[in-house]
Structure 1
Amino acid sequence: MSEPSQTEPVGVILAVDPDRFAEVVDALRQAGLTVTSEQPALGTLSGTVAQDRIPTLKAIDGVDSLDRDRPTHLPPPDSPIQ
């Protein structure tokens, strides 16, 4: 599997200031984030963004953390214990 190009969209998960959730999400959208899920009460959201825009998102006031979304694959329930 090859690494994505710098402009290929990647999944991200963000924690933001819950007291300023709408304001921060708006700034993230303006910076290039396509929001796919919002949890305002928790102050978290997920979305996709060009990989080269990640530093810009991290620098937005109110963003507490940003992590790349990395799916985990579990073996089927009937597979042997590993």
Structure 2
Amino acid sequence: MSKSSQPAPVGVILAVDPARFAEVLMALQQAGLTVTSEQPILGTLSGTITKDRIPALEAVDGVESLNRERTIELPPPESPIQ
């Protein structure tokens, strides 16, 4: 499979059990997550993964919630009100 035919990664934000943060983090990485940010005290982290691997992340024991990152674009200030 060529690199150009691989699906593009999507951003995800996860809430995990803070008491097991390191353990859950390792399991998520083994499931394919590329971690971009960690907040162990809060029990949250973000990263990227291909869309088809999201169910594997949700199945990891210790994951409390998973949300896809969203991008919102606002029109420039000089644009007319819609």
Aligned to 1:59: 59
Is the CA contact (8 Å cut-off) linking 1:6 and 1:51 kept in structure 2?
A: no
Gaps of 5+ in 2: none
Aligned length: 78
Runs of 4+ in 1 over 3 A off after TM superposition: 74-82
The alignment's C-alpha RMSD in Å is: 1.9
The structure whose Rg is larger is: 2
Gaps of 5+ in 1: none
- C-alpha change, 1:78 and 1:44, in structure 2 (3 Å) is farther
* Greater Cα offset, 12-21 or 69-78: 69-78
Question: In 1, Cα distance between the equivalents of 2:21 and 2:77?
Answer: 38
Deviation of 1:73 after TM superposition, in Å, equals 2.5
Question: In 1, Cα distance between the equivalents of 2:58 and 2:38?
Answer: 17
Aligned to 1:11: 11
Aligned to 2:27: 27
TM-score norm. by structure 2 comes to: 0.82
> Structure 1, residues 39-77: CA drift from partner, whole Å, max 9, x if none?
111100000001100000000000000011002234556
